[in-house]
Amino acid sequence: MSIQTLEQFISAQQMQFPQAKGDFTRLLQAISLAAKIVHREVNKAGLADILGKQGETNVQGEEQQKLDVFADNHFMDALRKVGECCYLASEEHEEGKDLTQQKQYAVGKYMVYFDPLDGSSNIDSNVSVGTIFSIYRRVSTADGMEDRDFEQSGRSQVAAGYVIYGSSTMLVYSTGKGVNGFTLDPSIGEFCLSHPQLQIPEDGRTYSVNESNYNQFSQAIKNYLQFCKEIDPKTKRPYSSRYIGSLVADFHRNMIQGGLFLYPDTYSYPNGKLRLMYECNPLAFIAEQAGGRASTGTMPILDVMPTELHQRVPLIIGSKNMVELVEQYIREFSKAEPTFA
């Protein structure tokens, strides 16, 4: 069986568009290079002095892990140097980086939002972690960035993807024409096509939610979780609860096997906890391209208009039929209860 590397796949895709200049190809190559470097460090984490806390907190108020900082530095560096980006935004920084004002590197037309190491608090426990990225095209043509560049919903993404560092390292991405997964072959140092045209099963038998928050959930979510636990041979319930606590890992499992991930609004986080721009939007883009669904509970994630860089939203994502049923529960029960806001 012939092997197709990520670079060969991207080049083949580029050939379908004679007007393409290779800038987007170079951008994805930069992301894959940074992912390989992070993979190397994650896999030797127990042998090197890169485990544990950095001693600082990020803009979210979360303690930074050493690997958070390492991953952020390498993705920032790779994306700056490739010369195809005009704006970079990371979970680890309070503000994005406007590259149109820099002199050191060439400036391109792409805006990249990323979470350099999602789930890093689990790294000491050898749990799978990941990188999430979202790519937009700048719409303004002035010397500097304009407000309208940042006022694009998730539907304007030109590409999105994630890397999962687990028993194997995989890069999964979409440019709006389906979803493809590439597994890193360490023997040749290349991501190789392993999961072409990924599709999320329409139904699943697992749900992922932090049930320690149960008493803070709305009655609609509580009722849905009770439905998941009821015995019903016809619908193969009760469903299994599978919560890793690493968003990329939970989402990737549901991508392959079918299932549902929920991080709904709570009394503590009435607007949700996960971040729209570099967590929810890219995974929602992947989910929809793979035949799944992503919702706040009341509207598609990809239709939410951003108002700030670190904006939070509720997230319900995974198998299409399962997400739609949660939305139905919310519609039916939210009429009779107050909202958290």
Strand 63-65, strand 274-275: pairing: unpaired
Is 218 found in the same domain as 83? no
> Residue 186 domain-assigned?
yes
More confident site: 41 or 230: 230
Show binding-site residues.
Answer: 91, 115, 117-121, 210, 243, 273, 279
The 10s digit of each residue's pLDDT in 32-66 is 999 999 998 888 765 455 454 554 555 555 566 78
Q: Does the pTM of the predicted model rise above 0.85?
A: yes
E strands, the chain, in order: 53-57, 63-65, 85-90, 97-98, 110-118, 129-137, 159-165, 169-174, 180-185, 190-195, 206-208, 240-241, 260-263, 274-275, 293-295, 312-313, 315-318
Distance from C-alpha of 271 to C-alpha of 269, rounded to nearest angstrom: 5
Distance from C-alpha of 197 to C-alpha of 233, rounded to nearest angstrom: 32
Pick from 174, 195, 216: which residue ends a domain? 195
Is 176 found in the same domain as 99? yes
Among 40-54, 102-116, 272-286, 308-322, the minimum mean pLDDT is found in 40-54
Show binding-site residues for substrate.
Answer: 118-121, 210, 243, 273
Average pLDDT of the residues in 136-148: 90
Which residues form the domain of 281?
206-334
**pLDDT band at 325; cut points 50, 70, 90:** very high
Is 69 found in the same domain as 160? yes
Average pLDDT of the residues in 163-184: 95
Average pLDDT of the residues in 180-191: 96
> Residue 47 domain-assigned?
yes
143 pLDDT higher than 90:
no
Domain count, the chain: 2
pLDDT at 333: 84
pLDDT at 302: 98
CA angle 29/33/37 to nearest 5° reads 170
Is 87 found in the same domain as 173? yes
Q: How far is CA 226 from the centre of its chain?
A: 28
Is 237 found in the same domain as 134? no
Is 263 found in the same domain as 176? no
Show binding-site residues for Mg(2+).
Answer: 91, 115, 117-118, 279
- Cβ(276)–Cβ(313) under 8 Å? yes
The Cβ-side half-sphere exposure at 90, using a 13 Å CA radius, reads 21
